[in-house]
Amino acid sequence: MSDVVVPIGRARELHPLKVSFACNDPDNGNFTGEFEMIEFDSDDIELELYGFESAVAVEFRPGSVKVGGVDYPTLGVVQHWAGNWCWDAVDMDVANARLLARALLSLGWKPEQWATDGPLSALVEAAHG
């Protein structure tokens, strides 16, 4: 059996991203059903988007997360209070994370922080070219 070498850029494409939604009340941790901030993480933050004054509805379902009326497939189950009680998170493949980020950018959401060599960097560059 031979070892398969995957280029670093392609390896990052294959690694799932943790997608965290700031969807819980900061005063008590209760789910609000909407979010105004989202983070896409691998080993480091790949992309952080803000949609202040333009909250989007979110609903966690078995095998998917519904964002603004669109279902995005997820891997595994929702992680409640991921990091702290303001956040819930799911794992998502890069292709679906890219679709979700593109949809939020098209709504006018702004990137706050992103990796310049990450799997979502070209998307941010194209949006703010």
> Residue 5 domain-assigned?
no
Number of domains within the chain? 1
Beta-bridged to residue 47, according to DSSP, are: 40, 114
Q: 121 by DSSP, 3-state: which?
A: helix
Nearest CA to 43 among 126, 117, 128, 122?
Answer: 117
Q: Which residue has the tokens 């202040």?
A: 52
Are 50 and 37 spatial neighbours (Cβ–Cβ below 8 Å)? yes
| Residue 21 falls inside a structural domain | yes
Eight-class DSSP state of 5: P
Residue 71 lies in a domain: yes
* pLDDT number for residue 116: 81
**How many residues belong to the chain?**
129
Contact status, residue 15 vs residue 42, Cβ threshold 8 Å: yes
Q: Could you read off the pLDDT of 82-105 as tens digits, one per residue?
A: 989 999 999 999 999 999 999 999
Please report whether residue 36 resides in a domain.
yes
β-strand partners of 115: none
What's the pLDDT at 6? 38
Domain encompassing residue 37: 10-116
Does residue 57 lie in a domain region? yes
Tokens of 112: 């706050």
Q: Is residue 123 part of a domain?
A: no
Percent of the chain with pLDDT over 90: 63
Structure tokens at 109: 């959401």
Q: pLDDT tens track of the chain, all 129 residues?
A: 445 433 444 444 567 899 999 999 999 999 999 999 999 998 767 889 999 888 999 999 999 999 999 999 999 899 999 989 999 999 999 999 999 999 999 999 999 888 888 788 888 887 765
Closest residue by Cα to residue 120 from 13, 23, 37, 34: 13
Residue 34 lies in a domain: yes
Residue 108 included in any domain: yes
